[in-house]
C-alpha cells in the first residue's frame, strides 16, 4: 500500500496544481460575472458536454478499458492491447463528432428540455452558447482515453495536471476578452474551451506515444466485446448517475437569476478536495485492483483506502462546514459577487460539505464492482438513488430553495453508499469498529476546537487546526496517519 500512497500523492499533486488554477478561475468568474444571468447561462451550457464526457470517456468506459487492457497486459499481448486502445479511440471520435453535429441542429430542443425553467430569453442565449462550448467534448473525451492509458503505465502526474489548460484558457479569456454582449462573450469562452481541450489532448497524446502507444486505423477488435461486457450494464449505472445531475440542473433552472450559479460555485469548492483526494485514490485504486484481483488483496486495498479517505477528508469536511460563510466571503466577496450571494452560496456549501466523505467513498467503491464483475449492483443502487433524489428535489426546493437541491444530493449519496457497502458483504464485516469509534471521537473534539476559534483569524484557525488534528491522530494512535506523513516527508526531501 506504500506504492499505492506514492501514486496517489503524485496524482494529488498534479490535481492540486490544476485545481488551484480552477479555484483562481472561479474567483475571476465570480468577480467579473458574479451570480448572474450570464453566469447561469455559461455554467448550465458548459455542464452539458461535461456530463456526456463522463458517460462516454470517463467513468464506465474508462473502467471497462482499464480492466480489459490489464487482462491483455497479463497475457503479455502488447499488440492486442494497443489495437484495443486504437479501436476505442476511433469509436469515441466517431461518437463525439456525431453528437456535436446533432447539437448543431437540435440545440434549441436540448436546452428547452434540460433547462426548462429558464426564461425564453435565457433559453435563446443558451442554445447559441451550447453550440460553441460543445466541441470541447471531442478533445476531452479522446484525451481521457490517453489518461487511462498513462494510468495503466503507472503515470499519474501528467494526466492530473493536463486539465490545467482549461483553467488557464478560461482565465485569460475573461481577463483579455471580456464583453458585455452575452452572445459574443459566450463565443469567446467557447473558443477558449475548445483550444484548451485540443492542447490537453495533444499533451496526453505526446506522453502516451513516449509510453509506448501505437495507433492503428481500425474499428473492429475482438476485445471491444469484452469492454462491452463491463460497459453495457455499467452504462446504466453511469447514465443514472448523470441523470441525477441532469435532474438537479432541471430543478435548478427554476431558481431565480443567480440561483444556478450559487449551486455551481458551492459545488466547485467541494470538488476541490474531492478531486485532490477522492478522485486521486479512485484513479490509483482502479488499475491496482484490476491487476491484483484476489479477494483478499481487493478487500485489504479497499479498506485501507477508505481509512485514508477518512483521515484526509473528515477534517476538511468539518472545517468547511464550520467556516462556510467566512470561507465564501474571503474567496468570492468582491466585484459583482454580492453579500446576498455570499449568504446563499455558504448555505449550499454547508450542505454539500456534509456529504464530502460519501462523495469520495462512492468514487472509490464503484470501480471495485466493475473489477469484481458485479456491475449490476451500482445499477441497482443508482436507480434507487435516482428515485430518492428526484423526490427530494421536488419536495425540498419548495421549502428550502437552492439549499434543498444540495441537501437532496447529499442524502441520496449517503443512501447510495450504504447500498454499495452492504452488497460488499465480506469486506463490510471486516471493517475495524475501533477505528470508526476513534474517528468519531476525534471528529467531535476537532469540531469543538473549530467552534472555539470561530471569532479568530481564519488563517490562524486553519493553521492551528491542522496541528490539533495531527495531535489527536497521534493521541489515538491512528497508524495510517504515520504512513501518510512518511510519504509526504520523502517527497519533500526529494524536492
**Contact yes or no for 231/64 (Cβ under 8 A):** yes
Report the mean per-residue pLDDT for the chain: 83
Q: Above 70 in pLDDT, residue 493?
A: no
Measured CA to CA, the distance from residue 418 to residue 90 in angstroms comes to 38
Task: Answer for the pair 117, 248: CB distance below 8 angstroms, yes or no.
Answer: no
- Among 140, 152, 137, 40, which residue's Cα sits nearest to residue 98? 137
Residue 289 has pLDDT above 70, yes or no: no
Q: Which residue has the cell 436507480?
A: 383
Q: What is the pLDDT of residue 492?
A: 43
170 vs 224, residue with greater confidence: 170
Residues 6+ apart with CB under 8 A from 181: none
State residue 401 phi and psi, 5-degree precision: 65, -135
Give me the pLDDT at residue 99, please.
92
Q: In the predicted model, is pLDDT for residue 98 greater than 90?
A: yes
pLDDT of 487 reads 54
The CA–CA distances, whole Å, from 40 to 100, 184, 259 equal 22, 16, 8
Q: What pLDDT does residue 495 have?
A: 44
* pLDDT at position 491: 46
Question: Quick one: pLDDT at residue 367?
Answer: 72
Q: What is the structure's pLDDT at 212?
A: 86
Question: Averaged over 275-283, what is the pLDDT?
Answer: 69
Residues 397 and 354: their CA atoms lie apart, in Å, by 18
What single string gives the DSSP state of each residue in 117-162?
TS-HHHHHHHHHHHHHHTTHHHHHHHHHHHHHHHHHTT--HHHHHT
Check if the beta carbon of residue 15 is closer than 8 Å to that of residue 280.
yes
Compute the distance between CA of residue 51 and CA of residue 304 in angstroms, rounded to an integer.
30
pLDDT at residue 490 is higher than 80:
no
* Secondary structure class of 404 (helix, strand, coil): helix
* DSSP code for 180: S
Query: What is the distance between the alpha carbons of residues 24 and 170, in angstroms, rounded to a whole number?
Result: 10
Answer with the residue of higher pLDDT: 413 or 17: 413
Q: Which three cell numbers stand for residue 190?
A: 467557447
pLDDT for the residue numbered 161: 81
Closest by CA to 86, choosing from 212, 198, 196, 234, is 212
Largest CA distance in the chain: 64
List pLDDT tens digits, range 11-52. Answer: 666 667 777 888 899 999 999 999 999 999 999 999 888 877
Looking at residue 302, its pLDDT comes to: 77
pLDDT level of residue 101 (50, 70, 90 thresholds): very high
Q: What is the pLDDT of residue 115?
A: 93
Contact 137, 53 (CB under 8 A): yes
The SS3 call for residue 105 is helix
Higher pLDDT, 388 or 161: 388
Q: What is the pLDDT of residues 418-452, one digit of tens each?
A: 998 888 775 555 667 788 899 899 999 999 999 99
Q: What's the whole-number mean pLDDT along residues 340-364?
A: 91
Q: Which cell numbers hold the place of 122? A: 435565457
Angle at 166 between CA 254 and CA 237, to 5 degrees: 55
Are the C-beta atoms of 150 and 209 separated by less than 8 Å?
no
72's grid cell: 491483455
Q: Which residues contact 265 (CB under 8 A, 6 or more apart)?
A: 26, 30, 35, 328, 332, 345
Alpha helices in 372-457 (DSSP H): 376-400, 402-423, 426-429, 433-452
The radius of gyration of the chain from alpha carbons, rounded to an integer in Å, stands at 22
How far is the CA of 413 from the CAs of 241, 244, 291, 380, in angstroms? 10, 10, 28, 13
Among residues 79, 370, 361, the alpha carbon closest in space to that of 235 is found at 370
Cβ(357)–Cβ(414) under 8 Å?
A: no
The grid coordinates of residue 171 equal: 482565465
Among the ranges given (21-30, 225-234, 301-310), the one the predictor scored with the smallest mean pLDDT: 225-234
Neighbours of 376 (CB within 10 A): 14
Give the three-class secondary structure for 153.
Answer: coil
pLDDT over 80 at 462, yes or no = yes
The pLDDT assigned to 288 comes to 60
Q: Give 393 or 478, the one with higher predicted confidence.
A: 393
Domain ranges within the chain, ordered by starting residue:
2-431
- Provide the pLDDT for residue 360: 86
How far is 480 from 310, CA to CA, in rounded Å?
A: 10
Tell me, what's the pLDDT at 294?
Answer: 59
Residue 289's closest CA among 69, 11, 84, 67? 67
* Residue 249 pLDDT > 90: no
> Cβ(282)–Cβ(363) under 8 Å?
yes
Mean per-residue pLDDT for 186-208? 94
Give the count of beta carbons closer than 10 Å to the beta carbon of residue 489: 10
How confident is the model over 324-334, as a mean pLDDT? 93
Confidence check: pLDDT of 189 > 70: yes
Residue pLDDT, tens place only, 44-81: 999 888 877 766 655 556 666 776 777 777 666 778 88
Q: What is the mean pLDDT of residues 478-484?
A: 72
Across the range 223-243, mean pLDDT stands at 65
Q: What is the mean pLDDT of residues 116-140?
A: 93
Q: Does the pLDDT of residue 475 top 80, yes or no?
A: yes
For residue 351, name the pLDDT band (cuts at 50, 70, 90).
Answer: very high
Q: Per-residue confidence at 130, pLDDT binned at 50, 70, 90?
A: very high
Categorize the per-residue pLDDT at 170 as very low, low, confident or very high, splitting at 50, 70 and 90: very high
Amino acid at each position: 500500500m506504500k506504492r499505492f500512497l506514492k501514486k496517489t500523492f503524485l496524482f494529488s499533486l498534479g490535481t492540486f496544481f490544476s485545481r488551484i488554477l480552477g479555484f483562481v478561475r472561479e474567483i475571476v468568474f465570480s468577480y467579473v460575472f458574479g451570480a448572474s444571468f450570464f453566469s447561469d447561462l455559461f455554467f448550465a451550457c458548459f455542464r452539458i458536454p461535461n456530463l456526456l464526457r463522463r458517460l462516454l470517456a470517463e467513468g464506465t468506459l474508462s473502467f471497462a478499458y482499464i480492466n480489459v487492457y490489464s487482462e491483455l497486459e497479463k497475457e503479455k499481448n502488447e499488440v492486442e492491447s494497443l489495437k484495443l486502445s486504437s479501436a476505442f479511440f476511433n469509436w469515441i471520435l466517431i461518437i463525439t463528432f456525431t453528437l456535436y453535429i446533432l447539437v448543431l441542429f437540435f440545440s434549441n430542443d436540448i436546452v428547452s428540455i434540460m433547462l426548462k425553467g429558464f426564461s425564453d430569453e435565457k433559453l435563446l442565449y443558451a442554445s447559441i452558447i451550447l453550440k460553441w462550448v460543445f466541441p470541447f467534448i471531442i478533445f476531452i473525451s479522446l484525451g481521457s482515453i490517453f489518461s487511462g492509458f498513462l494510468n495503466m503505465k503507472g503515470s499519474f502526474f501528467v494526466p492530473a495536471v493536463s486539465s490545467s489548460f482549461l483553467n488557464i484558457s478560461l482565465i485569460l479569456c475573461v481577463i483579455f476578452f471580456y464583453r458585455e454582449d452575452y452572445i459574443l462573450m459566450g463565443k469567446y469562452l467557447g473558443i477558449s474551451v475548445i483550444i484548451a481541450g485540443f492542447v490537453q489532448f495533444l499533451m496526453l497524446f505526446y506522453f502516451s506515444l513516449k509510453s509506448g502507444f501505437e495507433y492503428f486505423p481500425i474499428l473492429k477488435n475482438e476485445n471491444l466485446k469484452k469492454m462491452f461486457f463491463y460497459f453495457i450494464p455499467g452504462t446504466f449505472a453511469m447514465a443514472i448517475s448523470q441523470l441525477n445531475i441532469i435532474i438537479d440542473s432541471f430543478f435548478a433552472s427554476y431558481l431565480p437569476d443567480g440561483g444556478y450559479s450559487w449551486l455551481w460555485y458551492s459545488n466547485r469548492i467541494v470538488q476541490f478536495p474531492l478531486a485532490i483526494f477522492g478522485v486521486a485514490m479512485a484513479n490509483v485504486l482502479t488499475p491496482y485492483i484490476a491487476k491484483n484481483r484476489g479477494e483478499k488483496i481487493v478487500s485489504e486495498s479497499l479498506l485501507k483506502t477508505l481509512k485514508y479517505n477518512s483521515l484526509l477528508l473528515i477534517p476538511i469536511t468539518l472545517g468547511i462546514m464550520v467556516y462556510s460563510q467566512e470561507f465564501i466571503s474571503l474567496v468570492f466577496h468582491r466585484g459583482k459577487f454580492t453579500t446576498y450571494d455570499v449568504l446563499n452560496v455558504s448555505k449550499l456549501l454547508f450542505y454539500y460539505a456534509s456529504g464530502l466523505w460519501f462523495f469520495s467513498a462512492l468514487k472509490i467503491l464503484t470501480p471495485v464492482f466493475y473489477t469484481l464483475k458485479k456491475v449490476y449492483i451500482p445499477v441497482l443502487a443508482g436507480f434507487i438513488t435516482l428515485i430518492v433524489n428526484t423526490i427530494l428535489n421536488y419536495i425540498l426546493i419548495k421549502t428550502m430553495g437552492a439549499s434543498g437541491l444540495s441537501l437532496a444530493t447529499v442524502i441520496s449519496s449517503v443512501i447510495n453508499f450504504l447500498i454499495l457497502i452492504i452488497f460488499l458483504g465480506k469486506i463490510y464485516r471486516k471493517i475495524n469498529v475501533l477505528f470508526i469509534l476513534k474517528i468519531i471521537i476525534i471528529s467531535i473534539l476537532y469540531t469543538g476546537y473549530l467552534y472555539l476559534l470561530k471569532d479568530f483569524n481564519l488563517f490562524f484557525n486553519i493553521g492551528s487546526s491542522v496541528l490539533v488534528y495531527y495531535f489527536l491522530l497521534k493521541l489515538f494512535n491512528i497508524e495510517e496517519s504515520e504512513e501518510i506523513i512518511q510519504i509526504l516527508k520523502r517527497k519533500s526531501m526529494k524536492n
